Amino acid sequence: MRDVRSDFPILHREVHGHRLVYLDSAATTQKPRQVIDAIVEYYSSLNANVHRGAYDLAVRATEAYEAVRAEVATFVGAPDPNGVIFVRGTTEAINLVASSLGRVRVQKGDTIVVTAMEHHSNLIPWQLLAEAREAHLVMVELTADWQIDLAGYRRALERSPKIVTFTHVSNVLGTINPVADLTRLAHDAGAVVLVDGAQAVPHMPVNVAALDADFYVFSGHKMLAPMGIGALIGKPALLDAMPPYQGGGEMIRTVHDTSATYAPLPHKFEAGTPNVEGAVGLGAAIRYLDALGMDEVAAHERALARYALERLATIDALTLYGPAGDRAGVVSFTLADIHPHDLATIVDSEGVAIRAGHHCAQPLMRRLDVAATARATFYVYNTREDVDALVAALEKARTLFGYAHA
């Protein structure tokens, strides 16, 4: 893959006298000039509210907004753009499904299945739904190699769950789950399936039609686009049968004093003025990634992850977490008894930005038997030199805390 660092203005800055080494792309990615320019161009020449005005500017803004819906569908292999619902991100998408589908599908005593590697965004909404509907939430455990325990998963499916949900890629472990197989098993048990694709869509080719998940969700800010934009990809037949998530303008067909009828998909789930700027930026990000090639993006990241695992394994007293085999560009670790927050502060003094904390995955942290980890995540703009800078910064931290070689 070509060197893309020059496309990212923020990577040209220094931090504490060092070049910025940004290794927190699982949280949010930096933005290339092409995305920034698309947003500036929208506000400079196209800004208007969409779907409402008959004047030229509004028509052109609407065309730009809807063109991105089609681009999203193509990018993730969704067969029908009407099944692409723009949302603020993965969190809102999951809450939308939990609230809307949950109201009509989950009753007292029913079962919802999740896994122990979920981000809180794919756990808390289901906890709230289970509590509200007096349903049972069943958590599938992980194997010693940090994969979903398929035996435990099959046992959970014997309960005939109404909804099954799991992440495509763990934001802590880098585990890549066998989505198509898990979905097929859940469908055989009569469940509706939602897949959290926040850590997959930015990093590898995804074809939601081939995976056959009923709902697939992701966030734009994790794939070079602005914050506050993402997508829920749903099977239109299911979306049609679901009640609205929010009420307001745009999502209606007719309104009477005490009742209303609702707009067809996708507008039924897009109440109010949408984030047109974010959609325009998302379209620019998709075109940027398409030009790189998602196969190349995936290969680049996994090569960096392998190199990082090799280098980090040479550091005394450092513990790595995650599967030993193929994994995404996510590397979580602890170093001796240094608190991950202290570790992140020290490596930041060397210009290296990593994440520290529970990564919105406290149930998983308990299974790792730690309160928190440090985490380095890689993207298209990272290089082997970035990994080397991380290793050097960690060696400095080890020395500062008295863990130098004797």
Catalytic residues: 360
Strands 192-196 and 163-167, how do they pair? parallel
Output the CA–CA distances (angstroms, integers) from residue 66 to 201, 244, 245, 390, in the order listed: 20, 20, 21, 42
Output the CA–CA distances (angstroms, integers) from residue 323 to 131, 264, 341, 357, in the order listed: 33, 44, 24, 20
CA 278, 281, 285, 286 dihedral sign is: positive
Q: Which of 190, 187, 230 is nearest to 212 (CA)?
A: 187
What residues have CB less than 8 Å from 70, skipping those under 6 apart? 81
What residues have CB less than 8 Å from 44, skipping those under 6 apart? none
Say if CB 375 and CB 359 are below 8 A apart: yes
Residues 221 and 310: their CA atoms lie apart, in Å, by 29
Q: Please give the single-letter amino acid code of residue 286.
A: I
Total Cβ atoms within 10 A of residue 345: 12
DSSP SS3 for 59: helix
Residues 218 and 232: their CA atoms lie apart, in Å, by 7
Strands 215-219 and 192-196, how do they pair? parallel
Total Cβ atoms within 10 A of residue 83: 24
Helix axes 276-292, 33-45, angle to 10 degrees: 150
Output the CA–CA distances (angstroms, integers) from residue 8 to 20, 22, 29, 201, 345, in the order listed: 12, 11, 10, 20, 24
